Every structure is written in structure tokens, then in C-alpha cells.
Amino acid sequence: MEFVMNASRLSSDQVAQYEREGYTLFQQPVFAPEKFNRLRAIFEENLDKYGEEDLDRIHSRDERLLEFLLADEVLDLVEPVVGPNIGLWSSHFISKPPFTGKATPWHEDSSYWNGRISTMEGICTIWLALDEVDAENGAMKVIPGTHLNGFSDYEQVDAAKNIFGSQIKAELVDESRAVTFELEPNQCSLHEARIIHGADANTSPRRRAGFTMRYFPLTSKINRERNQNTRFWLARGKDLTDNPLEVREAVTLQQ
């Protein structure tokens, strides 16, 4: 598929879907081929170095990733749903190996981040496919329209079979409404932090790897006490609430 870079990368229908249902898919190349290949090479290097279980907040250890996290190709996807003033919240390489990749139980990102920021509203995750992702190898699934709460009741699950040790109580999730995100490498999904989502275990012979890139509107206020060991970057625009943001040399504050 040909790589095309436009000033506004999401259509009005995609923005409306995101606002209404809490997600949308961008089934076009996010990066030019050579840039995507460099990102994949960085992923493979970090996977070899840290293993599948230690790839969270990865850009704080490998600042080469800021080239991608703060790239216009990504921020032009984020701005229509987050606004013009954008902070980089976190990033995470996710790799589920063939046959043994654990399930991701139904959850809301917001439930794990509760209290770390003034509001969960507006936090957006881009899930960039590094491998082909489909139902067979454990693609992410969402329950559309569940992004207006974000704090469901949880129950314990078997941590040996799941990435997390808890999940939203089964009776609260209508799995018949689930939508599966099937993506080619270099395509992505966008989802709101409060939406209910999860993924089946990878029982296929193919790896399932992705890069999550998470952003928040700079109208929100970071709780410094709850984020003492976390680094945040200015991604675009200007900070409106005196957040503890780092500024990459290639990123300048707009006046």
C-alpha cells in the first residue's frame, strides 16, 4: 500500500466514530516503509535485550523512539481526537509469542491509571501493528461505546494465563458486541483510555507484536506525587496546566 502523508489523516467519519464509539481504525501505512523498518529494528533490539515482560515505558530507556512518538505522522492522527496541545503519556512494546502469548483480560486503561491525572477523558492510545494482527493470533477487541465510564468493578483471574491479574467482572461485559481489530504491519487503531478492551491468548504459530503510543490533552493536570518516576514529553502545542514535561530538542513550544 502506498504511503501518503496528509495534514489531516483522519476523516470526519473516523473522528465521529471515535467520539461515538471510543475507537477507530487507520488501515493505511502510518510511516513511510524505511521509517517503519527502523522502528521494527529498534523493537527487535529491545525485545532481545529486555524480553517480552519488560517493554513498558520503553522510550524512557531508549530515546531513539521519540523520533516516532513525536512524529507528525502520529500526531496528525492524534490531534483530531485529543486537541492541538498534546503530551506524550507513555509507550509500550507488546509481544505475544506463538502458541504461548497470554490473554489480555477485559479491562479499561483508565482503571490502572486512576489518580495519576486529573481526568481520564481525552487520553488516546495508538496501537501500531508491528506484525500482522488478526483474530487467530490474539488481536485486540473492544466493546464499542463503553468509553464514558472507565471504572468498572473487577475480579481476580489466573495470572499464569493472563497479562493482568484482574478483569472486569464477566457479567458487565457483553462479548457479543466485541469488535476485533485486524491490522497489517504499519497500520494502527486508536482507542480512548476508558473503553473496555482485551485480547485472546495467541495460540497461533505467528507472533503478535505492536507498539502502543499514548497521548493526553494538555488541559489535563498530571499528579506529580503519583508519577514521580515517570517522564512525560511535550508532543505538540503548549502546556496549559504546568505539567512536568520534557521538551525534545526537535520539538518547540508554540507561542
| Residue 44: CATH number of its domain | 2.60.120.620
What are the backbone dihedrals phi and psi of residue 189, each rounded to the nearest 5 degrees, phi first? -115, 160
The three-state secondary structure class of 239 is coil
H or E element at residue 36: helix 33-50
Instruction: Give the sign of the dihedral formed by CA 69, CA 72, CA 77, CA 80.
Output: positive
Whether residue 123 has pLDDT greater than 80: yes
Residue 9 located in a structural domain = no
Q: What is the rounded average pLDDT of the residues 234-254?
A: 81
pLDDT of residue 251: 45
Residue 89 belongs to some domain of the structure: yes
Cβ atoms of 196 and 143 closer than 8 Å: yes
103 assigned to some structural domain? yes
Write out pLDDT tens, residues 155-209: 999 988 898 889 999 999 999 999 999 999 999 999 999 999 999 999 999 999 9
Helix crossing, 72-82 with 12-21: angle to 10°? 60
For residue 8, tell me if it sits in a domain: no
Length of the chain: 255
In a domain, 254, yes or no: no
> 14 lies in a domain?
no
Comparing C-alpha atoms, which of 200, 195, 181 is closest to residue 143? 195
**pLDDT of 255 over the 50 cut:** no
- Structure confidence at residue 54 as a pLDDT band (50, 70, 90): confident
Distance, in Å, from the CA atom of 61 to the CA atom of 69, rounded to the nearest integer, reads: 14
pTM for this model (two decimals): 0.92
Residues 215/195, Cβ–Cβ less than 8 Å: no
Question: Is 87 a residue whose pLDDT tops 50?
Answer: yes
pLDDT score, position 248 = 84
Query: Whole domain around residue 186: which residue ranges?
Result: 22-246
Q: Is it the case that residue 4 has pLDDT exceeding 60?
A: no
Domain count, the chain: 1
d(CA 244, CA 218): 11
Instruction: Share the mean pLDDT of the chain.
Output: 92
Percent of the chain with pLDDT over 90: 83
As a whole number of angstroms, the distance between CA 219 and CA 197 comes to: 25
What is the C-alpha to C-alpha distance for residues 19 and 191, in angstroms, rounded to an integer?
10
Rounded mean pLDDT, 73-97: 96
Domain-located, residue 1: no
DSSP string, 54-75: S-BTGGGT-GGGHHHHT-HHHH
Residue 213 lies in a domain: yes
| Placement of cell 487520553 in the chain | 123
Query: What pLDDT sits at residue 7?
Result: 54
Beta bridge partners of 216: 87
